[in-house]
Amino acid sequence: MSAGTVIIAGAGQSGAQAAVSLRQEGFEGRIVLIGDEPSLPYQRPPLSKAYLAGKVEEPGLLLRAEKVYADQRVELMLGQRIEAIDRANHSIRLASGATIEYSHLVLALGARNRPLPVAGAELKGVCYLRTLAEARSLRERLGSISRAVVVGGGFIGLEFAAAARAQGIEVTVVEAAARPMSRVLSEQMSAYLSAKHEANGVRIVVNRAVCRLLGENGQLSGVELDDGTVLDADVAVIGIGVLPNVELAEAAGLAVNNGIVVDDHLLTSDPAISAIGDCAAFPSSFAGGMIRLESVQNAVDQGRLVAARLGGKPAPYASVPWFWSEQYDVRLQMAGITSSHNQAVVRGSAQENAWSVFCFRDGVFLGAESVNRSPDHLAVRKLLGAGIAITPEQAADPDYDLKQAAAAAGK
Ligand SMILES: Cc1cc2nc3c(=O)[nH]c(=O)nc-3n(C[C@H](O)[C@H](O)[C@H](O)COP(=O)(O)OP(=O)(O)OC[C@H]3O[C@@H](n4cnc5c(N)ncnc54)[C@H](O)[C@@H]3O)c2cc1C
């Protein structure tokens, strides 16, 4: 497809990538990038890290300068919400009532915060951390609060906890499961991170659910747990996951199942509509089935892949999944999908804050979690990308040269 109009719905990480890559792939038609947030497309990862810590300001969050979109002839429509897709007429309808026709539609709609379904959720001081607007308001509050409760021990909640501790705020993390990040990290890594947080003064409460948020004069004052404990709080940061934005697709009759369902080329059941990024559920050999990922790697690679297809170079999506997080002096990097592992092998030294956990299922290598050991992480990405398995014995052997194995994989 070299002409026509490509509408990209959602101007976040994946949508902005698709728009710019599409032009680079030689697409000569019209590219319209539509997003409901008011700002130019920006990076979310720093919102819970450097931005919250006051180490980066808003202009530093932008993915690209405005001029890049103009140079690439990407029409930006910001602060505009898409309300409907009319598949029969190949058009979308904006909240303003305007309609725009497409030759191809890329759904890059992301996800939204999962709301905490308890009384008191409307109180001032109950915060979420997904958008720039939310991060801005949270950052402003950090200067004037002394106690925060984080609901949900996931990456965003724990990154917030680290940033808040650095500013001297008392932090308690409440996690409903038996350990933080139980769905995504090995037991060893989650124990290590919990210990890091505790050493930095964070209190972690596990196996407890929040049943009520308490307030005085409309302002949050405490968080009540299901055992009756009340934690005093000026701010509660809710980090209990997200809901993919699938409603537009669903209303248009596209298949939806924990995300907008796409095939290995990221096409929905309608050949004129693709879906990418946090909102898309796709088949993955790394997951052994359908999966929806929330990561920059996935958003960027899927944006590029769809752009290449529309530019005339179709290929199945097979990128190695990877992710990172930063908390205190820990740079955690993960490669592969390791959630189903039943064997974990350690390389390096947790005491020295430089170690990796290699994960296996029935002896099959799935991926690794690395703390301050980027060479391990990069080697694992190469091995997974080349489909080369290592054994638990090799992973545990400090004399086994991972880098060399990865270099051989690249040949
Ligand atoms: C605080 C935070 C920290 C993170 N840290 C990391 C990290 O360290 N490493 C990592 O790999 N990933 C991280 N992530 C995840 C990563 O940022 C996301 O996976 C990525 O942004 C997904 O890109 P996307 O384009 O799919 O969605 P988004 O970037 O969310 O963009 C979707 C856009 O579509 C808009 N939209 C939705 N519906 C409509 C509509 N009807 N009309 C118009 N526009 C609409 C949304 O408002 C949004 O602007 C983090 C995320 C958050 C929130």
276 CA closest ligand 1 atom index:
26
What is the predicted pLDDT for the residue at 149? Answer: 98
Q: What are phi and psi of 216, to 5 degrees?
A: -130, 125
Pairing of strands 30-35, 82-86: unpaired
- Out of 102, 250, 276, 294, mutate this one to test ligand 1's pocket (max ligand atoms within 8 Å of CB): namely 294
Residues 214, 334: Cα–Cα separation, whole Å: 37
200 shares a domain with 135: yes
130 CA closest ligand 1 atom index:
53
What is the predicted pLDDT for the residue at 373? Answer: 96
Task: Tell me the CATH number at 373.
Answer: 3.30.390.30
190 shares a domain with 265: no
188 shares a domain with 273: no
Q: Is residue 263 part of a domain?
A: yes
Task: Tell me the CATH number at 273.
Answer: 3.50.50.60
What is the predicted pLDDT for the residue at 254? Answer: 98
299 CA closest ligand 1 atom index:
23
280 CA closest ligand 1 atom index:
26
Q: Rg of the Cα trace of the chain? A: 22
- Among protein residues, the one with the nearest Cα to ligand 1's atom 12 is 295
293 CA closest ligand 1 atom index:
19
132 shares a domain with 234: yes
- Out of 295, 319, 326, 381, mutate this one to test ligand 1's pocket (max ligand atoms within 8 Å of CB): namely 295
111 residue type, one letter: A
What is the predicted pLDDT for the residue at 144? Answer: 94
* Sheet with 147-151, edge to edge strand ranges: 126-127, 235-238, 147-151, 170-174, 203-205
69 shares a domain with 150: no
Residues 371, 93: Cα–Cα separation, whole Å: 46
363 shares a domain with 277: no
- Among protein residues, the one with the nearest Cα to ligand 1's atom 7 is 45
Q: Is residue 75 part of a domain?
A: yes
27 shares a domain with 90: yes
322 CA closest ligand 1 atom index:
11
83 shares a domain with 65: yes
User: Of 310, 342, 363, at which residue does a domain stop?
Assistant: 310
Pocket of ligand 1 (CB under 6 A): 9-15, 34-37, 44-45, 47-48, 81-82, 108-110, 129-130, 156, 245, 248, 277-279, 294-297, 299, 323-325
The rounded Å distance from CA 275 to ligand 1 centre is 14
User: Of 238, 255, 290, at which residue does a domain stop?
Assistant: 238
What is the predicted pLDDT for the residue at 220? Answer: 98
188 shares a domain with 167: yes
405 shares a domain with 352: yes
- The terminus-to-terminus CA distance of the chain in angstroms comes to 33
SS3 297: helix
Q: Is residue 38 part of a domain?
A: yes
- Among protein residues, the one with the nearest Cα to ligand 1's atom 29 is 12
The rounded Å distance from CA 76 to ligand 1 centre is 17
Q: Is residue 31 part of a domain?
A: yes
What is the predicted pLDDT for the residue at 411? Answer: 59
> 75: buried, middle or exposed (CB in 10 Å: 19+, 13-18, 0-12)?
middle
Q: What is the mean pLDDT of each run of 10 residues along the chain (411 residues)?
A: 90 98 96 98 97 96 98 98 98 98 98 97 97 97 96 96 97 95 93 97 97 97 98 98 98 98 98 98 97 98 98 97 96 97 96 96 97 96 94 95 85 59
Q: Is residue 189 part of a domain?
A: yes
Q: Is residue 319 part of a domain?
A: no
| Per-position b or e across 296-324, b if 16+ CB within 10 A of its CB | bbbbbbbbbbbbbbbbeeeeebebbbbbb
- Out of 278, 297, 377, mutate this one to test ligand 1's pocket (max ligand atoms within 8 Å of CB): namely 278
User: Of 310, 337, 361, at which residue does a domain stop?
Assistant: 310
Measure the CA dihedral 154/160/162/165, to 10°.
Answer: -130
Does this model's pTM top 0.95? My answer is yes
401 shares a domain with 376: yes
Q: Is residue 80 part of a domain?
A: yes
- Out of 13, 34, 334, mutate this one to test ligand 1's pocket (max ligand atoms within 8 Å of CB): namely 13
- Among protein residues, the one with the nearest Cα to ligand 1's atom 49 is 12
Q: What's the structural domain count of the chain?
A: 3
What is the predicted pLDDT for the residue at 407? Answer: 87
List the Cα angle 126/128/130 in 5-degree steps: 165
> 70: buried, middle or exposed (CB in 10 Å: 19+, 13-18, 0-12)?
exposed
247 shares a domain with 108: yes
Q: Is residue 316 part of a domain?
A: no
The residue whose two tokens read 């790394």 is: 286
Residue 294: domain span: 5-112+243-310
